[in-house]
Amino acid sequence: MDKSIVEQCREYYPMTFYADSLSEILFLVNRVREQKDPIFHLEPIPLIIKQIHYYNDIGLKQFYCGCSTVFLLLLATVNILLSYLIAALVLVLLTAISFFCYCSLQRYKSNLRNELITIENKLASRQYGIKDKLESNSTPKPSNLLLDSLAARENIYNFKIDDSANKGLSESYFLSYLHKWFCYPWRIIEHCQFQGERYTPTADFILINDDLKLGIDLEIDEPYTIKESMPIHLVEDRKYIIRDKFFLTLGYIVIRFAEYQIAKYPDYCCLHIVRVLNQFLDRDMKISVPQATEIQPLKPQDWRVKTWTLKEAKIMSERKIRDSYLEPIRSFIKDRE
C-alpha cells in the first residue's frame, strides 16, 4: 500500500502538508494559472522569410505568364493573317488562359505585398502578439474556491484553550514575529487543545482567517528536552504522523519547523508561512513582508534542517547542540523578565 504524503515527506524541515480540500484548490488554481500565462511570440520572424520567398517566386511565375501571353497573342495574330482560323482560335484561347493566370498572380502578389508591409511595420514598432489561452472571466478566484469548500473545514474550530500546556522555549520568541507578520483578519491562538474521540492533541500555534476558514497548525520541533535531555520529535515516531493526519482531517494546513530554524531564521519562517497562504488568497488579500523587515536570500542547504532519529537525537543531546543556537531566544526571554 502506498504511503501518504504525510508519511513520505518527513526528511527535512520545514514540513508542509495540505488538507485534501485545500490540495484540490491548489491543483485547480495552479493549473489555471499555468494556462493563463500569456504567450509572447514574435510572429513575423518565422513568417516573413517564407513569404518573401513566395513573393519572389510568384513574381517569376507572373513574368513567365506575361511573356507567354505576349508570345501566344503574336502567334494568334500571325495565324489570323494567314487565315489559319482553327489554329488562331486555339491560340486565342490559350492567350486568354495565360492572361487570366497573369492577373490572378498579380492580385495574389499585391495581397502578399500588403501583408509583408504590415509585418515590417510590426517589426519596426516592436509590436509583438500576446495571446491568452483562457478568457479572464473563466479564471476561478481562490477566495471563491475556499468559500465553496467551507464545509470541509468547519471542524477547525473544534478546540479549547489549554492554559495548563507547557510552553516551549522558542514559542514566545516566535510569537513576537508572528504578531509582526500577521495582523487582522488573521488570528494567532496559542495552545489549542482539539477534541477527538480518542485523541486530544494541543497545537503550538493556530493561525486562522475566520472569513475564509483558512487555518494553519504551526509546530516547533526540538530534538530533545532541556531538563531531562529526552529525545523527542523523532522521524520514526508514528505518533507525529497520526497527529499531522488528525489536523489535516479537520481541514488545516500543517507546517512543522525545526527549533533551529525558528532561532536562526524567524523572519524566513514567517515568509514560508506567507508563501503557503498567498497561494489561496486573491491579489488584494495577499500578505506582504512587513515594513523595515529585510529578508536575506537563503540557499536550501542553509534553510532546511534534516529530521533526526533516536540515535541522532541522543548524540545531539550529549553534545548539547541546542545551546549552540538558542542564545537569541534566551536573550529575548531575559529582556522580557
Q: Domain check: are 121 and 90 in the same one?
A: yes
Q: How many whole angstroms from its chain centre is CA 156?
A: 26
Note whether residue 89 is domain-resident: yes
Domain boundary among 131, 157, 188: 131
Identify whether the C-beta of residue 311 lies closer than 8 Å to the C-beta of residue 224. no
Domain boundary among 105, 131, 157: 131
Q: Minimal CA–CA distance to 44: which of 110, 113, 122, 112? A: 122
Domain boundary among 85, 101, 131: 131
Note whether residue 137 is domain-resident: no
Q: Domain check: are 292 and 259 in the same one?
A: yes
Strand-pair partners of 15: 256
Q: Give the Cα separation of 205 and 332 in Å (integer).
A: 19
In three-state secondary structure terms, 216 is strand
Q: Domain check: are 66 and 185 in the same one?
A: no
- The number of helix segments (H) and strand segments (E) in the chain equals 12, 10
Q: Domain check: are 209 and 245 in the same one?
A: yes
Note whether residue 280 is domain-resident: yes
Identify whether the C-beta of residue 129 lies closer than 8 Å to the C-beta of residue 43. yes
Note whether residue 268 is domain-resident: yes
Q: Domain check: are 149 and 182 in the same one?
A: yes
Q: Domain check: are 272 and 303 in the same one?
A: yes
pLDDT at 39: 44
Q: How many whole angstroms from its chain centre is CA 212?
A: 21
Q: Which amino acid is at 133?
A: K
Q: Domain check: are 211 and 93 in the same one?
A: no
Q: Domain check: are 78 and 203 in the same one?
A: no
pLDDT at 15: 93
Note whether residue 139 is domain-resident: no
Note whether residue 136 is domain-resident: no
Q: Domain check: are 319 and 214 in the same one?
A: yes
Note whether residue 329 is domain-resident: yes
Q: Domain check: are 213 and 228 in the same one?
A: yes
Q: Mean pLDDT in runs of 10 for the chain (337 residues)?
A: 74 92 84 54 43 64 82 83 79 85 80 72 54 50 84 85 75 92 92 83 91 93 92 93 92 94 94 92 89 83 90 94 91 81
Note whether residue 49 is domain-resident: yes
Q: Domain check: are 228 and 324 in the same one?
A: yes
Q: Spell out the residues 6+ positions from residue 309 whose beta carbon is closer than 8 angstroms to its own.
A: 234, 235, 236
Q: Domain check: are 152 and 296 in the same one?
A: yes
DSSP for residue 231: B
Per the structure, how many domains does the chain have? 2
> Which domain range does residue 124 map to?
40-131
Q: Are strands 253-258 and 214-221 parallel, antiparallel or unpaired?
A: parallel
pLDDT at 230: 94
